[in-house]
Amino acid sequence: MRSSKTLLLVTACLAQPLAGQAPDSLALARRVVAAASLAAKEYALGVVPAGGQITQPEEVDEAKLFIQQAQFDVSGLPVAARANTHRTLSRIAQLLESLAPPDSVNRVTDSLVALITNAAGGPKVVEPLPSRPPSLERGAVVYRERCAACHGESGRGDGPKAKSLKGPPPANLADPVVMGNKSLLDIFRRIAVGTPGTAMPEFAEDLSAEDRWAVASYVGAMQYGGSATAAIFAAVRHQIDSALGRRSDKIAVDAYMTFEQVETAIRAKNGGLASELEGNFAWLRTRVAKADDAERNTIRERLLAGLERAERVVADRPSGMSLFVASFFLLVREGFEAILIVTALMTFLAKAGASERRREVARGAWAAVGASVITWVLVELLLQVTPGQREMIEGATMLLAAAVLFYVSYWLLSKIEAAKWTAFVRGKMQSALSSGSGLALSAVAFLAVYREGFETILFYKALFTSAGSSSVPVVGGIAAGAVGLVAIYLLVNQLGLRVAMKPFFAVTGVMLYYMAFVFAGKGIAELQGAGMIPLTVIEGAPRIPVFGIYPTVESLIVQGLLLVLAIVAAVWAMRPKPKPSGAPSDGDLLRSQ
């Protein structure tokens, strides 16, 4: 968004509409403002900052056409602005021909916009901003009706009419290189006046301002997969860099105005963060022109870090299906391991002719279930009595869950061979029965089940934290997992089902590692939100919340380390080893006897 918008706002309360101003005069004022602003924007893309050298001739040619288009409309402007507008447009045309520095063109254009704005009634008359966020849904409808024929359904410039058009092909609206430097206002203006020298028509008379804002928002979001919020944050970051690079307090105001489109949503979820960002934007506006390089770098780092946290707050939307699947696998995996160990103990007792001692195993297992419930309650109470440290505790919980999940996934991988699993179960049974004590049997059952229960609590606490307000899929996964566990128990203990351990451990091990990877990224994000660890943004790094991936040095280092450890662990677990004599050839099946 250019500095012209700032001047429009400053003069809003000073200018009054001219008496008897005709609607056509106002429409032409809007056209001239839009065309001149777009000309300055395109020219800056086609000439080096110092001027005198063209880098993209098509951009310079387009800028000249915009100025010519504006000159045609001068005669219809309010009388008070005609003469000065004509002279200023001629001046801009001379600057373009002489390849003047883009900053010089911007300054003259800003003065022109202010002149026309004052004469026409102020910014709220000339370029009224939308009173509410534009509707992406409505923008999609307008786009399909008016734009898709040329630009294509996905915006890649491959619509059915694209090949038959004369002149330059339709722009690829999904390409960040093409669209990355265009603000919402730039797109709105282009929709209004069209693009001279191309097949792009003007829509100022055919579409209402509300529809133009809606389709502009939809087009701006295309390069971000349709996310208007992501488009707004990207625009703010671009404007911050422009303000700092040009030392412009006016562009700094533009950046804050763009940020205001998401400020309400941020304040509703994290008022402290919204206030912090407001303070940093004020710092940017007041110091950008005078600050030295060190101070400007500090301002930039703080704003980018705050915006990264803010985007996580308002934009992260975990996938319902991924939450459901993760929740289901967690309960089935943890519960199934407990079932296997308890079943092994019961089976051993039956073979030893001590079936009457099964009660002791059952007693230890049920005691562990009760202890797990108490542990869950204590964890929740801990979080409630320390609300100020909630983010820190949740972040630490997610990192602990990531570490345990990684260990468990490796443990599963190491037990993927039947002989190893059989030896593990046999060792547990022999240790429990060696003393001949019923308490020992209860203790083994208790520890086996409580370990799974504690892990389950830890994992679900992390999963609920990751889900935020989207907890329904997690609860659904718990319900489905409980039904699955009952079915597994009945099939194994009542029907003697043979369970294929190798594929089961392989699938659940991979799933648990995926969750460890996600929790690691989100745990770091929580601690960054609590201010416990720094937040260093990596420009251009990917943002994939479903994998817990965020563009920060700290989170990517932790996840990179986890990835390296996973590769090392997999290679170590899968290394060739001599097969023990007497090992069963098909012993990867466990069944109740």
Please, which residues have CB within 8 angstroms of residue 414's CB and are 6 or more apart in sequence?
420, 573
CA dihedral 50→53→58→63, nearest 10 degrees, is 40
Q: Mean pLDDT for the chain?
A: 76
Instruction: Kindly state the tokens that stand for 324.
Output: 């459901």
DSSP assignment, residue 544?
B
Please give the pLDDT value at position 593: 40
> DSSP characters for 379-414?
HHHHHHH-GGGHHHHHHHHHHHHHHHHHHHHHHHHH
Residue 426 pLDDT:
57
State whether residue 447 is helix, strand or coil: helix
Q: Strand 589-590 to strand 499-500: parallel, antiparallel, or no bridges (unpaired)?
A: antiparallel
Collapsed DSSP state (helix, strand, coil) of residue 552: strand
Q: Give the separation between CA 342 and CA 279, rounded to whole angstroms.
A: 59
Q: Which residues of the chain have pLDDT under 50?
A: 1-23, 387-388, 417-419, 421, 582-593
- At residue 589, φ and ψ (nearest 5 deg) are -115, 130
> What's the pLDDT tens digit per position in 509-525?
777 788 788 888 888 88
Side-chain-side CA neighbours of 207 within 13 Å: the count stands at: 27
Q: List the Cα angle 284/287/292 in 5-degree steps.
A: 110
Q: What is the pLDDT of residue 6?
A: 34
- Asked if residue 292 lies in contact with residue 280, where contact means CB atoms within 8 angstroms, the answer is no
Range 151-172 burial, b when 16+ CB lie within 10 A, else e:
bbeebbbebeebeeeeeeebbb
CA–CA dist 231, 239 (Å, integer)? 12
Q: 3-state class of 591 per DSSP?
A: coil
* Of the candidates 32, 320, 85, the residue with the CA atom closest to the CA atom of residue 192: 32
Q: Give the span between the Cα atoms of 487 and 344, in whole angstroms.
A: 18
Work out the end-to-end distance of the chain between its first and last CA atoms, rounded to an integer number of angstroms.
74
Q: Looking at residue 541, what is its pLDDT? A: 81
- Cα distance between residue 425 and residue 589, in whole Å: 13
537 - beta bridge partners?
A: 552
To the question of domain 136-224 being in CATH 1.10.760.10, the answer is yes
CB 121, CB 30: distance < 8 Å: no
What pLDDT sits at residue 62? Answer: 84
Closest CA to 105 of 57, 58, 48: 48
**φ/ψ bin of 344: left (φ > 0), alpha (ψ from -120 to 50), beta (otherwise):** alpha
Q: Which H helix or E strand runs over 43?
A: helix 23-46
Contact between 328 and 481 under an 8 Å Cβ cutoff? The reply is yes
Classify burial at 45, counting beta carbons within 10 Å of its beta carbon; exposed 0-12, middle 13-18, buried 19 or more: middle
- A 10 A CB-CB count for 580 gives 9
| pLDDT the model gives residue 8 | 30
C-alpha 496/C-alpha 306 separation (Å) is 57
Q: Where are the domains of the chain?
A: 4-126, 136-224, 228-315, 320-590
